[in-house]
Structure 1
Amino acid sequence: ALRWLCALLLALPGAAGVCSQPPRFAFAEPVSAALQSYAPGAVVSYRCLPGYAKKAGESPDVTCLADSTWSRKSAFCTKKPCGPPSIENGDFHTQTDLLFGATVTFTCQVGYRLVGPPSAQCVVRNGEVSWDAVPTCEIVLCPPPPSIENGQLLDRNEKFTFGMAASYSCNKGLSLVGEATIFCSIGRGFQGVWSSPAPECKEVKCKDPQVKNGKKLSGFGTEHTYGNQVSFECNPGYSMKGSSVVTCDANSAWTPPLPTCDQMLCGRPPELPFGTPTTAVGDSSPLGTRVMYRCIPGYEGAPGRSSVITCQSDATWSAPDPHFCVPAQCPSPRVQYGRVSPGRYFYRTWDTVTFSCNPGYALQGPRSSTCGADSRWSPPLPQCKKVRPCPMPPQVANGNHNGQGQAGFTMGMSVRYTCNPGFYLVGNPTVSCRASGTWSQPRPRCEG
């Protein structure tokens, strides 16, 4: 009984010197059915699974080692290649390789459409690897080009494939409206469609175009049919609104509409800080208009500066000289035998000066004057006259004056007259000594 127990323990997995079931490989399987355990030195052989091939020089065997493990093995089977798939007028694309299990996608050349699945896989079929399905690329066909009235199709092909052209012409005297040539192209679902509708043949005549205040640059004939173009330019002094080129369209009308040539006008002349226009100018002025400015009171034109601006060919005013008006000046006042205060070399508008005379001279005129906007002193300058003594005041019959006993009389001095008893005074009772050395007139008189 002890002998049977020892034999049983040796047969258990993991027992010393005993290997469990052989390793599993994704690419191979044991040639014979696997046992529950293997004695040291036991060998298990493998064969490659379908889709795999044995590597040259590699053994497909594993051995049970004395430590109850199987000998290590590297991959001894490799994937079989399917080879490049063949698709006429197309190509394939892959992100890996072309070995067993790989997947490729297909595309067609321009003008062809894919018929069949868009991808294929390298699979085992009848013991060999091959692509499970390869589509085809068929050329795109367009339906016959449409016919047109009063015209004909120039191409007589039975089939129209991608890229082929169909051209049309019209009967004599008619214009072809649309595309004279249309092309077979690809539409939705990779179906063949024509690039544009068939053209029309119709009679098109546009009137001879004329633009007021302008002239033609091209298209000088008087008869114009579909597609004819005419270009224009405006006369000097006018600007164009609209397109300079128009085309005769299918409705016998010019498109875009004919342009207009509008007179070029300058806006209001610019405002200057110290000047105003000499003539009335509105909100618009034709080219060549000249505007002259005059300086406002207190200012005068500077020598060598222009006061004229002109409406230029670009409908803008020429730049005015901002410095042609300068503050007005009065000449330095001179009073012979007198003095001016304050004394300066020049005086600006609204400056005021006062006057005084030298000793022995008397002021005749205003004591002050102001520089006016017209560069003149206002009031006019005074004079300093030499002072002359007056003689004794004249006698008045039946009267007397209070200057009796006075040694002398000079300008500005005055005397007062009174009448004797029984008489009364007629006239101004006072007379003054004037700069001329004479007494003011008239003198009074005493009447009784």
Structure 2
Amino acid sequence: MSPALALLLLSQVALYTTVTSVKVCGRPPTTDGIDSSTLKRVYEVGEEVTLTCEQGYLPSRTPSARITCTATGEWTQANLACSPKMCQIPRPLQPFAKGRTEAPFKSVLNFTCDDGYVLIGSNESRCLHDNTWSHPPPLCKAVNCPLPKPPSDGRIVHDKPLTGTATKYGQAWTYECHPPKAPSYERGFCMANGSVTEPPVCRDVSCPVPTNIPNGIITFAVMRQHGYKEKVRYACNEHYVLEGRDEIQCQNTGNWSSKPVCRAPCTVGIKRGRIFYNGKKIWIGDLKPNRVLHGEHVALYCLNKTGKCGYPVATTCNDGNLPIPGCFEEPGRMDYNLRPKTLPSEITMCASPPTSSPGNVTITR
């Protein structure tokens, strides 16, 4: 290579280096809310830009919005922060907004109505840049249903008096057939989709001959098949407690409604000791007969050995079963007959009984 050619190449390299060493600045960094629509992709050294908040935002502090592209290709520091404008949430909607009274720009409120109500208006509203909402809150109007049709061989009894020529969602009625027929179903409703229950079919229904219940009897009934809505009454044997309705009714399904149950009395299963029953203390030998009815409460006395005091623990008769509290210790014959005043029921009662064992209820008096 000749010296002249080498010199030319070196000059070109030097020229290239000089041109490419000039730095530029890219698009200025922005934070949420700063208007970037007018910003260029590249700026030359020395160019200045004044940042502003975009529509719907306000400067949150005294701004230093002018920035300059420096020779290092970096921008000077800006002190502009933009916060969104706020829209006032309508007062009736604030409970649904978890107590919030305002929502920021671009927020969206979504509206729905409960089942059985039709939404009148827009189902959403957006917070606009001028602190207003794009749509007012909608209305929720109750669904209307046409009047129901009665069965071909019966009538309708409405739960509430009707006004007008339509029913509203949630309103209900009972279908009745002319005796002795029974409706295939008894209840009708105005439903959420605006339709009503189709009328039932009236048909002949009978229930089988009623049967007795354990430890009880049927009263004032002829032992035969019974028609729709006919009733039979039950009673319990002496000392048994009837649980449930004392009457059963023949239903439109051809079955009887649920029978009651007769719950058995209990025996207090101790030989020696004192109990608290029906508001007074009783030696077990004086409980004659030894019988407690289902659901009644009895208290037996336990000893707090640490405090050397007694305390009553309640137990309940449940269909022939009366659990004895685990803390109760039946006294021996000697203590019971010769030293009764030393029994837990006779000594000083504890000011506060110890924590009772699971399944027992501690009582005080």
Question: Rg bigger for which structure?
Answer: 1
TM-score by length of 1: 0.37
TM-score by length of 2: 0.43
Higher share of residues assigned strand: 1
Higher share of residues assigned helix: 2
